[in-house]
Structure 1
Amino acid sequence: MVRGTLFYLVGASGSGKDSLLEGCRRQLPAQLRCCIAHRYITRAAGAGGENHIHLSEAEFHLREELGLFAMHWYSHGYHYGIGNEIDAWLDSGANVLINGSREYLPKAMAMYDELVPVLVDVAPDKLRQRLIKRGRETPDEIECRLARHARMVAQMPDCTLRVSNDGKLEEGVQALLNLVMTHGVQHVEIEPHCLNG
């Protein structure tokens, strides 16, 4: 059986990754054969707007020691993990969609030949307005975040696919579902990613 495709979603804070994933969960067509992974995070449940699974630091480190994470990283004071259940999903031929970390991407690409990076694209002005409306950061902090995002975009691999989330949320959700439909293993056999090339 051909392994599924691993869609590795990245994007700036405020780009709407969580909203896109939640929208996809609500309307995943069966023919996509796509599973959306929940992240395991040491951040409290209900914080941050993400539908994640909360773990204490002790439980997180235990799972890490037991090899229960396919991927894990530390960012902004929290530990993040993707469970190794995604390997069983991929082995079964399912496509898998995860909310990844840009900093972890090179390591993830070295581990998974079937990984496809997906960048959630939002115009800088629109992203700035979303961050201002959110009200969590000062204007200077927002500009620093926008600058980091611009550097991230410039450093993404050439094989990165893009999903626009500039408009209505339902349009972004449909664009992401279309991307899985177009590039998932049930339609095309994905060649090894560009870093192996």
Structure 2
Amino acid sequence: MSNARRVRQGGRLFYLMGASGAGKDSLMAYARQRLEGRDRIHFARRHITRPAGSGGEDHVAVSAAEFERCLQEGLFAMHWDSHGLRYGVGREIATWLAAGHDVVVNGSRAYLPEARRLFPELVGVLVTATEAVRRERLRSRGREDAAAVDRRIARGAELQGQQLDRVLVIANEGPLEEAGERLVALLLGEEGACD
């Protein structure tokens, strides 16, 4: 649990979440490219205790000691642990939101209640895909062995059963462009962007 204070928002915080392999990183990369040049939409980079170049999202790779130092110095607006890794989102997002800018964060379903406590007006966006699609994506990225993939799939099923109220849903099982355009439409405030 974080001891951070609630943040008053001027902009919108889009909190993307979904099971491993649902395609959050790909959707965010797609939307970032499509919205390039719009200076009022920011895509937050997470600090992760995972090596750089390990595939997946563009993140700030930090050691466990560096992560702990950042945490102690209050540099994270949000932080959580999952799958043996630590994740942190920089406090610059609060500055962007206060300035009326929109922010997109790759979040955690388990952390959603705390994220909502800190950012009461956040827009929860659940990215979904079938277990078969997720399993194939996890295998193809090659970061983990078969046992680790099985653990991620099991964790996804466990969290899927939790109540995720007040969230928008983007199904990401077909071509990336389909779900990607729904995310872009949502970020631009277009009606009917989500399922």
Q: How do residues 89-168 of structure 1 correspond to structure 2 at under 5 angstroms?
A: 89-134=96-141, 136-138=144-146, 145-168=152-175
SS state at 2:50 partner? coil
Higher helix share: 1
Query: Distance in 2 between the 1:180 and 1:162 partners?
Result: 13
How far off its partner does 1:125 sit? 3.2
Equivalent residue for 1:56?
A: 63
Residue identity matched to 2:88: G
Query: Distance in 2 between the 1:6 and 1:173 partners?
Result: 18
- CA change 1:109–1:26 in 2 (3 A) is same
Q: Mind listing any 5+ residue stretches in structure 2 that lack a counterpart?
A: 1-7
| Aligned with 1:22 (options 29, 49, 58) | 29
TM-score by length of 1: 0.81
Q: Mind listing any 5+ residue stretches in structure 1 that lack a counterpart?
A: 188-197
Equivalent residue for 2:19?
A: 12
Equivalent residue for 2:78?
A: 71
How far off its partner does 1:172 sit? 1.6
8 Å Cα contact 2:46-2:89 kept in structure 1: yes
Aligned residues: 183
8 Å Cα contact 2:128-2:171 kept in structure 1: yes
Query: Distance in 1 between the 2:85 and 2:43 partners?
Result: 21
How far off its partner does 1:85 sit? 0.1
How far off its partner does 1:31 sit? 6.0
- CA change 1:75–1:145 in 2 (3 A) is closer
Identity among equivalent positions (%) equals 46
How far off its partner does 1:22 sit? 1.1
Query: Distance in 2 between the 1:145 and 1:39 partners?
Result: 19
How far off its partner does 1:121 sit? 1.3
- CA change 1:157–1:130 in 2 (3 A) is same
SS state at 2:105 partner? strand
How far off its partner does 1:79 sit? 1.7
How far off its partner does 1:132 sit? 4.7
More displaced stretch, 93-102 vs 120-129: 120-129
SS state at 1:46 partner? coil
Equivalent residue for 1:36?
A: 43
Q: Deviations over 1:23-43 (max 9, x none)?
A: 111111656831100001121
Equivalent residue for 1:88?
A: 95
How far off its partner does 1:44 sit? 0.9
- CA change 1:132–1:67 in 2 (3 A) is closer
| Aligned with 1:172 (options 140, 159, 179) | 179
How far off its partner does 1:78 sit? 2.0
SS state at 2:89 partner? strand
TM-score by length of 2: 0.82
How far off its partner does 1:146 sit? 3.6
Query: Distance in 1 between the 2:27 and 2:157 partners?
Result: 21
